[in-house]
C-alpha cells in the first residue's frame, strides 16, 4: 500500500512529531485499500491528500488568573477538519496530555464517526492542555472565559458546534456558553451537552455509554447471541463508563470493573452503580473509597499495573468495554482478554485499542466494535440536540433514546454491509472506515475542489 506510506511520509514533513495523528491516519487508510483499489476515481480526485489535511487549524494562548492572583498560560486548539457533510462537530478536551497531535487524531477520527451516523455533521475537535482537576470553580470559570475569548470567533450554530469531552462537562460547557453569549449577544445552539435548563437534550449525558452498549447488542444479535448474563469489563469512571455500566445492567449483563486515574476496582458481584455515581459525580473522589462500602472488592493502584498494559483487562469476562482514553488497551491486554474467553469488545472511548490489539481482535474473529462506530452515540445525540435547538423544541427521554438506538443500529448495518461488500465479512474496522469514507468522499467530489 504505497499510498499509505507516501501519505504518512508527507504528513511527517508537513506536520512533524504528531505520532497519534499518524496512527489514526494509518489505521484508516490501511483499511481503505479495497475501495481505493476498486475505484480509481477517488485517487484521481486526490481525496486522500485532501481528507488528511484539516480545512482549518486554530491555535491560541489562554492566559488566566488563579486563586492566588498568579497569571497562568495554557494553549488552546480547535481543528476544523472537514465540513463536506455539515457544520464541524466534535468535543473540547481539557487535559494535560492535549497537544496538536492528539487533537488532530481525534478530529480525523471524528470525520468518519460523524459520517457513519448518517446525520448532517462534519468533523472537528478542540481543547487545551489545561487540567481542571484540583482547580476551584472560580479558576475553571476564568479559564473557560479566557478560552472563549478567542474561540468565539470561529464557532456558530451552522459553522462549528463544539461539545464536551474529557475534562469538559456540564460545568465547563456552562461557563463557555455564558461567555459566548456575553461576547456575541446571541442565545443560540452553539454548544451541545448544555444544561437541560437552557437548551440541553435529555440522554446526552448517557448517550456515548448507552450507544456503545447498543452497538454491542447489535453485534451479538447478528451472531445469534445477547448480553443477557454476560460478565463485562468496563474501564473508566466518567460519563461514558458510568452510563455503559447502567445500560449493561438494563440489558441483563453484569459489569464487574471500573477504573480511574488512581486505579481499578474489580467487584465480582457487579459494580454498585449508585455508589459509583456518588463517588465520581457528587464527591469527585478516587475509586479506592469504593472499598469503604465493599471491602471484598479488589482495588489495583496504577503503580501495580502490569508494565505492558492495564489491570482492568487482566480479569476473565465475556465482553470488554474500553471507556477511558486512547491507547489504553495494548496488544498484550488483547492477548489476555482472548485467552480469558472474551468474545466481544465495544469501544466507548476514542481509539482506546492500539493497532496491535485491533489486529489480534480481528484475527481471533471476536465481535469487535471500533470507536468510530461504537462510540458515535454521543455525537449523534449532540446532533439531535442541535435539531431540538433549531426547532425550539424539547423531546422526551424516550424519544431521544429511541432515535439513539436506531442510529446505532443503522451504523452497525452500514459497517457490516460494507464489510460483506468488500470481502471481509464481520470486519467492522474495515466496514466502518469504508462506509464513513465513501459518504464523505462522495460529498467532497460533488462539491468540487474545495
Can you tell me the distance from the alpha carbon of 434 to that of 25, in angstroms, rounded to the nearest whole number? 13
pLDDT value for 326? 84
Determine which one of 104, 113, 125, 230 is catalytic. 125
- pLDDT digit string (tens) for 161-211? 999 988 998 899 999 999 999 999 999 999 999 999 999 999 999 999 999
Q: How many residues are listed for the chain in this entry? A: 450
Greatest Cα pair distance, the chain, in angstroms, is 63
Spell out where 30-184 has E strands: 56-65, 71-82, 88-94, 123-128, 160-164
Flag whether 407 is in a domain.
no
Could you confirm whether 205 is annotated as catalytic?
A: no
Mean pLDDT to the nearest integer, 143-149: 98
Mean pLDDT to the nearest integer, 128-151: 97
Spell 258-275 as b/e; 16+ CB within 10 A means b: bbbebbbbbbeeebbbeb
CB 288 within 8 A of CB 279: no
Percent of the chain at pLDDT exceeding 70: 100
Mean pLDDT of the chain: 95
CB 168 within 8 A of CB 91: yes
CB 94 within 8 A of CB 127: yes
Using the predicted structure, report yes or no on whether residue 364 has a pLDDT greater than 70.
yes
Q: In angstroms, what CA-CA distances link 303 with 262, 288, 316?
A: 9, 13, 21
- pLDDT digit string (tens) for 380-412? 999 999 999 999 999 999 999 999 999 999 999
Can you tell me the distance from the alpha carbon of 132 to that of 54, in angstroms, rounded to the nearest whole number? 28
Both 112 and 22 in a single domain? no
pLDDT value for 1? 64
Flag whether 198 is in a domain.
no
Using the predicted structure, report yes or no on whether residue 312 has a pLDDT greater than 80.
yes
Helix (H, G, I), strand (E, B) or coil at 31: coil
Both 84 and 24 in a single domain? no
- The position carrying cell 497531535 is 101
Both 259 and 361 in a single domain? yes
Both 5 and 91 in a single domain? no
What lies within 8 Å, CB to CB, of 426 at 6+ separation is 365, 367, 416, 419
Flag whether 345 is in a domain.
yes
Q: How many CB atoms lie within 10 A of CB 327?
A: 16
Looking up residue 289, the CATH number of its domain turns out to be 3.40.50.720
Both 180 and 294 in a single domain? no
pLDDT value for 166? 87
Both 236 and 156 in a single domain? no
Using the predicted structure, report yes or no on whether residue 2 has a pLDDT greater than 80.
no
Mean pLDDT to the nearest integer, 251-277: 97
Mean pLDDT to the nearest integer, 62-84: 98
Looking up residue 115, the CATH number of its domain turns out to be 3.40.50.10860
- pLDDT digit string (tens) for 434-450? 999 999 999 999 999 98
- pLDDT digit string (tens) for 87-119? 999 999 999 999 999 999 999 999 999 999 999
Both 84 and 30 in a single domain? no
Flag whether 382 is in a domain.
no
Both 215 and 155 in a single domain? no
Helix or strand run (H / E) with residue 264? strand 263-266
149 torsion bin: left (phi>0), alpha (psi -120 to 50), beta (else): alpha
Helix (H, G, I), strand (E, B) or coil at 62: strand
Q: Which domain holds residue 113?
A: 55-187
Mean pLDDT to the nearest integer, 46-54: 95
Report yes or no on whether pTM surpasses 0.85: yes
Both 258 and 145 in a single domain? no
The total number of structural domains in the chain stands at 3
Flag whether 264 is in a domain.
yes
State how far Cα 371 lies from the chain centre. Answer: 7
Flag whether 367 is in a domain.
yes
Flag whether 131 is in a domain.
yes
Spell 276-313 as b/e; 16+ CB within 10 A means b: bbebbeeeeebbeebeeeeeebebbeeeebeeebbbbb
**DSSP letters of 417-441?**
HHHHHTT-TT-HHHHHHHHHHHHHH
pLDDT value for 44? 87
Flag whether 380 is in a domain.
no
- pLDDT digit string (tens) for 205-234? 999 999 999 999 999 999 999 999 999 999
pLDDT value for 3? 78
Both 366 and 239 in a single domain? yes
Both 149 and 122 in a single domain? yes
Both 114 and 246 in a single domain? no
Amino acid at each position: 500500500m504505497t499510498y499509505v506510506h507516501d501519505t504518512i511520509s508527507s504528513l511527517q514533513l508537513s506536520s512533524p512529531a504528531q505520532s497519534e495523528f499518524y496512527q489514526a491516519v494509518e489505521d484508516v487508510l490501511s483499511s481503505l485499500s479495497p475501495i481505493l483499489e476498486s475505484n480509481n476515481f477517488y485517487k484521481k480526485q486526490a481525496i486522500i491528500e485532501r481528507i488528511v489535511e484539516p480545512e482549518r487549524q486554530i491555535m491560541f494562548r489562554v492566559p488566566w488568573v488563579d486563586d492566588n492572583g498568579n497569571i497562568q498560560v495554557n494553549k488552546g486548539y480547535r481543528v476544523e477538519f472537514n465540513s463536506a457533510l455539515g457544520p464541524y462537530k466534535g468535543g473540547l478536551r481539557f487535559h494535560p496530555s492535549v497537544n496538536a497531535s492528539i487533537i488532530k487524531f481525534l478530529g480525523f477520527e471524528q470525520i468518519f464517526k460523524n459520517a457513519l451516523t448518517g446525520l448532517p455533521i462534519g468533523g472537528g475537535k478542540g481543547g487545551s492542555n489545561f487540567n481542571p482537576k484540583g482547580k476551584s470553580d472560580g479558576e475553571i470559570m476564568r479559564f473557560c472565559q479566557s478560552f472563549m475569548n478567542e474561540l468565539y470567533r470561529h464557532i456558530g450554530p451552522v459553522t462549528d458546534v463544539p461539545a464536551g469531552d474529557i475534562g469538559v462537562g456540564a460545568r465547563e460547557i456552562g461557563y463557555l456558553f455564558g461567555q459566548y453569549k456575553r461576547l456575541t449577544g446571541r442565545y443560540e445552539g452553539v454548544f451541545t451537552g448544555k444544561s437541560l435548563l437552557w437548551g440541553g437534550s435529555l440522554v446526552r449525558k448517557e448517550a456515548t455509554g448507552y450507544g456503545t452498549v447498543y452497538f454491542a447488542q447489535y453485534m451479538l444479535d447478528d451472531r445469534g447471541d445477547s448480553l443477557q448474563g454476560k460478565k463485562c469489563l468496563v474501564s473508566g469512571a466518567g460519563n461514558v463508563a458510568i452510563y455503559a455500566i447502567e445500560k449493561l445492567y438494563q440489558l441483563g449483563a453484569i459489569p464487574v470493573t471500573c477504573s480511574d486515574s488512581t486505579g481499578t476496582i474489580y467487584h465480582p458481584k457487579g459494580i454498585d452503580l449508585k455508589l459509583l455515581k456518588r463517588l465520581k459525580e457528587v464527591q469527585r473522589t478516587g475509586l479506592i473509597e469504593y472499598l469503604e462500602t465493599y471491602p471484598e472488592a479488589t482495588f489495583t493502584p496504577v503503580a501495580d499495573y502490569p508494565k505492558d498494559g492495564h489491570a482492568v483487562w487482566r480479569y476473565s469476562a465475556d465482553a470488554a468495554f474500553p471507556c477511558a482514553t486512547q491507547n489504553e488497551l495494548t496488544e498484550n491486554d488483547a492477548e489476555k482478554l482472548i485467552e480469558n474467553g472474551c468474545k466481544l469488545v465495544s469501544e466507548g472511548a476514542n481509539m482506546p485499542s492500539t493497532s496491535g490489539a485491533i489486529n489480534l481482535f480481528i484475527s481471533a474473529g471476536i465481535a469487535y466494535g471500533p470507536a468510530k462506530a461504537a462510540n458515535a452515540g454521543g455525537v449523534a445525540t449532540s446532533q439531535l440536540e442541535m435539531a431540538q435547538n433549531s426547532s425550539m423544541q424539547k423531546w422526551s427521554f424516550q424519544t431521544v433514546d429511541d432515535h439513539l438506538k436506531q442510529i446505532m443500529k443503522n451504523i452497525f448495518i452500514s459497517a457490516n454491509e460494507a464489510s460483506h461488500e468488500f470481502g471481509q465479512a464481520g470486519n467492522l474496522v474495515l466496514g466502518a472506515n469504508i462506509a464513513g469514507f465513501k459518504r464523505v468522499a462522495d460529498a467532497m467530489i460533488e462539491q468540487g475542489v474545495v
